[in-house]
Chain A
């Protein structure tokens, strides 16, 4: 009887061995998302997975110089320009998202607020042509909605989908590094995504690239 128990114990140890091995396996993205339980954590992992591999290349590829885009909207209207350069999910009420790049002078910098912002003048007339959202509070879902490979139907529900938008905004905010000192008057190069509901609306760009000189 004792022998029998002993051999059983040995057997079960042997049986457990491969399981134990699995736990110490080198982590891969799949294992990471399996560990991450909440929507928030899972979407943060997914956002990090696609950020360098897909989001940044897509932004770079779709970027149109901001002044060019503004001129075209003034000439041909938002929908025409949206059809040519815009990105948006299918569906009637979805506004256009655009990716734009450019260079200008910082005329206002609010870096104290939780919703930190830079106002940038491109054409040198002293008025802001766009606002760059620095976060950590970033408005909207432009970054998510501009990515054609992100499709709402692939997600469980709006909660999961919203957490993805938040995770992408967080990555945009985290990837910004600002130099010390007063930013007003300095030149800035930018590339980023924004939503435009109406032709005349203020541009609130979520940066995918930002370089203050």
Chain B
């Protein structure tokens, strides 16, 4: 395996296709690849920024790449990372099933992967899988939603991208709470694929068919922002919207009396922990932790929203 890696490396150096292949200041500890979905969503940007800052602190050089939720592109990025001979890969992946093969390929090339935010469907391939306790977080969001709704009324659920485990788990956490209240009636449930634009479009259509809705619960903040924009356009700012992520956009909306609540995932810290565990694994050969780790989420309302900044809550 080692031989294979060196072979790739020399190939890259010889042809010098990648501008960063020969850094002016060689980092002491090596190179970490940080692969996430598109930075258009501030959540993923915060992950990348958090991971990069910690990696540089710890003496690594970084290679930041985005897969745009495309498993094929992710696969190519893994090839690039392997070819560049990175020491570790920090990954927020492009699909629980599709990612297994890519992480296995890195492992076969001697490169450990440390996953954040999203799980893959197998254990024993990545070294760490650090994810938010989405179920616990969704329950928090749902409890607040139920309270805001007064335990009754018609509502809509916008769910995330189906290939992503987090879409299912949040929906499941929401319904484990909401379905216990028989006077809360779900009149529409649609996927808006985590996207703000789709959130807007779906909300517009749903609202036309169901003008009598009282609330919208969303699987993430970008969809919540899209739904809120559609509701504002339709003059329906009376509708209760709850999101999930804890983005600065939703924070500002909460403080301005728009969206009512969200659930903070400690994305910034999570990315840093992944880098720390990667560093520990590379230095001493073990992270000292179980592969799969959960990090609890925090409910954000008008009460504590002001303390929220870039997916972290100040004391």
Contacts and interface: CB of A to CB of B under 8 A. Distances in A.
Interface of A: 89-95, 114-115, 136-137, 139-141, 151-159, 161-163, 165-166, 197
B293 A89 contact: yes
Given A92-B295, A93-B296, A151 B135 contact: no
Given A92-B273, A152-B293, A153-B291, A161 B180 contact: no
B180 A114 contact: yes
A165 B135 contact: yes
Chain B, interface size category, equals: 20 to 34
Given A95-B296, A158-B119, A139 B143 contact: yes
Interface of A: prevailing SS: loop
Contacts of A94: 294-296
Interface stretch (B58-66, B72-80, B165-173, B248-256): B165-173
Contacts of A162: 135, 169, 172-173, 176
B36 interface: no
A3 B177 CA distance: 65
A53 B19 CA distance: 61
Nearest to A161: B135
B165 A93 contact: no
Given A155-B292, A156-B121, A159-B169, 15 more contacts: A137-B177, A140-B136, A141-B135, A141-B136, A152-B293, A157-B96, A157-B165, A157-B169, A158-B119, A158-B135, A158-B165, A158-B166, A159-B165, A161-B135, A166-B176
Nearest to A166: B176
B135 A114 contact: no
B134 interface: yes
B155 to A, nearest CB: 17
Contacts of B290: 89-91, 151-153
Interface of B: 96, 119, 121, 123, 130-131, 133-136, 139, 143, 165-166, 168-169, 172-173, 176-177, 180-181, 266, 269, 273, 289-296
18 contacts: A91-B293, A92-B295, A93-B294, A93-B296, A94-B296, A114-B181, A141-B133, A141-B135, A151-B290, A153-B292, A156-B121, A157-B96, A157-B121, A159-B168, A159-B169, A162-B176, A163-B172, A165-B135
Contacts of A136: 180
B131 A158 contact: yes
Nearest to A141: B136
Given A89-B290, A89-B294, A140 B266 contact: no
Given A114-B180, A114-B181, A90 B131 contact: no
A165 B139 CA distance: 12
B120 to A, nearest CB: 8
Contacts of B173: 162
A18 B177 CA distance: 46
Nearest to A151: B290
A154 B96 CA distance: 16
Contacts of B181: 114
Contacts of B293: 89-91, 152
A89 to B, nearest CB: 7
A39 to B, nearest CB: 9
A139 B123 CA distance: 28
Given A157-B121, A158-B119, A137 B136 contact: no
A91 B135 contact: no
